[in-house]
Amino acid sequence: MKKVLEKRKDIVFYIKLYPLPMHKGAYDKAKAIICENSLKLLEDAFEGKPLPKPKCETTAVDENIKLAGKLGITGTPAIILPDGGIVPGYKDADSLIQMIDKKP
């Protein structure tokens, strides 16, 4: 995402945290990030750093899990493009920009 944002200021990302059950502690990490509304905590999580316990009660993580189920998303990362297409897995910045720019 950072590389895309460095290249294109007209692209934004809306992040929905979707913790997979196979990742121990991911649910609480997602809650902590949402409670603090913290990009820093998100980056810490990606770097494998420990996160604080969630400081609030929120249903946002459960709502994200339900949404992923409705959309047929079973893994991360998953990218939903402006045209509604879903792209599973990692994509490099240039490939992602190309997909975003593709006209329907």
Domains of the chain: which residue ranges? Answer: 2-101
pLDDT per residue as tens digits for the range 45-83: 999 999 999 999 999 999 999 999 999 999 999 999 988
Beta bridge partners of 9: none
pLDDT of residue 103: 60
pLDDT bin (cut points 50, 70, 90) of residue 31 is very high
Q: Is 28 exposed, middle or buried (0-12, 13-18, 19+ CB in 10 A)?
A: middle
2-101: what CATH class? alpha beta
DSSP category for residue 78: E
